[in-house]
Structure 1
Amino acid sequence: MLQSDSGAAAKIPRPVPLRESVFEALLELIVSGQLRPGQHLVENELAELLGVSRQPVREALQLLSGEGWVDLHPGQGAFVHSPSVEEADQLLAVRALLETESARLAARHADEDGVAALRRLCARGASAAHSEDTDTAVTANSELHALITALSGNKVLAELAAQVARRVRWYHTPVARQRGLTSWQEHEDLIDAIADGNEEMAAQIMREHTEHTRLSYLEQRKNQPEEPAPQPIRRRRMRTAPGS
């Protein structure tokens, strides 16, 4: 048996399973809004779109269902999850708590390079918002908030924030146009507070900023009816002829 002086041998990297690649591709389509809440997900159509067989698509849909991105209904198939108002409100409230603390700690720990990176992201996002390039604005927003969390220096906080980041991006996309340049002015004020090392001001601005986003989302959903779950298809049984 082969042995090495350093103990256990290094493991050989293996290719990512196809189902995980399909999972990531479908999740990006959901988060970006190309697959809309409530949309029916047909396996053969998705397989053709991604250039794969139906099996990894089926496995990916099971994974997405386990993480709450897809709803599986017996007799109907798979549908993009339609978040309830309460579900969205709870997630955005948790996001506010995490990011308020991130901003406070970023004001304590951020260096000049970190602040400069924040200003570049802010400028890119504001320019996209001004030209109504929603996709770029949403991406820049996500990157800016992620960088603030990274600058906090708290790894546990960063891990928790990362767990909700994609879903927050999903909820933020519909209100990005509505918030427009106002959101980016709030970002500029936040970055100024971080640059000044003003922890309390940074926390207050972030708290108000995330609350504005939460309220904008809830306002947009106010007049939208809740999507009912698809009803299973009831198959009629064939009647047998008398005496058969």
Structure 2
Amino acid sequence: MRNVLEKPKPFYEQSYHAIKRMIFEGKLKPGERIVEAKMAKELGVSKSPLREAIRVLEKEGLVVIDTRVMVYKPTIKDVEEIYFCRMALESFAAGLTTRIASAEELENIENILQKTEEAILQSMEQNVIIELNERFHELIIQYTQNNLLRKQLNDLKGLIYYFRILNFEGEKRAEHILEQHQQIFHHMKQRNDEQASKAMVHHLQLDLDHLVEVLSHNHEE
């Protein structure tokens, strides 16, 4: 059996992940300009793969290209529009998965909630808890077995994750979000699709309200 070496990722892909990480970690702030020459030097790449990475990030909505390249700065209107789309799609997903998911699939969702609770109790890093929260939503969508639904939400994935990070500001946010996820799952485990769907809408509405408050406060500073 021969060993097959993995090919290194193209420079544009490495640049894409590096800039995305900087945005998510807050090293690049909303509205901050990305100077191509400076960023290329920092990442050790030429301008060509950097520009390709920026085009991908623009497609995902994380950067804006006008006369300059800027990190996307969300407006309250943007947030409301995306959350209203999520409420429609994810409430449907919660109801459908409640009806058709296997016992094993429901157990997988429950395991994610248990891991989230353990991560909070152990005071793990914020990004670990955010990724577990994301996984909870992803499994519910995955188990609908509806590929078109998954594609529509996947197109918003970058912005949804970005909003999750911004939404984490505030006291006891991890605990509050976990409680809401547990409430959704309680109805799913009871196979009550209508209540699971309503609980998902309620959760996303609370998320939206909190994020609008965070953005309003940040805009005042």
Please say whether Structure 1 and Structure 2 have the same fold, judged by a TM-score greater than 0.5.
Answer: yes
Offset of 1:124 from its aligned partner? 2.1
1:53 aligns with 2:46: yes
Give the TM-score of the pair, scaled to structure 1: 0.77
1:192 aligns with 2:183: no
Code of the residue aligned with 2:174 in structure 1: it is G
Offset of 1:46 from its aligned partner? 2.5
Please identify, of 168-177 and 208-217, the stretch whose mean Cα deviation from structure 2 is larger: 168-177
Partner of 1:204: 198
Code of the residue aligned with 2:126 in structure 1: it is T
The one-character-per-residue Cα deviations of 1:16-37 (angstroms, maximum 9, x if unpaired) are 6532442343234324433221
The one-character-per-residue Cα deviations of 1:76-127 (angstroms, maximum 9, x if unpaired) are x322011111111111111111110110011011112211211221122233
- CA change 1:19–1:226 in 2 (3 A) is farther
1:91 aligns with 2:64: no
- How well do the aligned residues superpose, as a CA RMSD in angstroms? 2.4
Instruction: Flag structure 1 segments of 5+ consecutive residues without an equivalent.
Output: 1-13, 228-244
Offset of 1:51 from its aligned partner? 3.3
Partner of 2:113: 122
Code of the residue aligned with 2:64 in structure 1: it is D
Please identify, of 79-88 and 32-41, the stretch whose mean Cα deviation from structure 2 is larger: 32-41
Displaced runs of 4 or more, over 4 A = 14-17
One of 118, 125, 135 as aligned partner of 2:127: 135
Code of the residue aligned with 2:16 in structure 1: it is F
Q: Secondary structure at the match of 2:187?
A: helix
Give the TM-score of the pair, scaled to structure 2: 0.85
Higher helix share: 2
Larger Rg: 1
Rounded Cα–Cα distance in structure 1 between residues aligned with 2:202 and 2:137: 14
Instruction: Flag structure 2 segments of 5+ consecutive residues without an equivalent.
Output: 1-6
User: Does the 8 A contact of 1:129 with 1:177 survive in 2?
Assistant: no
Code of the residue aligned with 1:221 in structure 2: it is L
Code of the residue aligned with 2:46 in structure 1: it is S
User: Does the 8 A contact of 2:62 with 2:158 survive in 1?
Assistant: no
Identity fraction in percent = 24
User: Does the 8 A contact of 2:183 with 2:199 survive in 1?
Assistant: yes
The one-character-per-residue Cα deviations of 1:119-147 (angstroms, maximum 9, x if unpaired) are 22112223333426321111111111000
Offset of 1:15 from its aligned partner? 8.3
The one-character-per-residue Cα deviations of 1:41-82 (angstroms, maximum 9, x if unpaired) are 1224432443322221123223333443222343xx322011
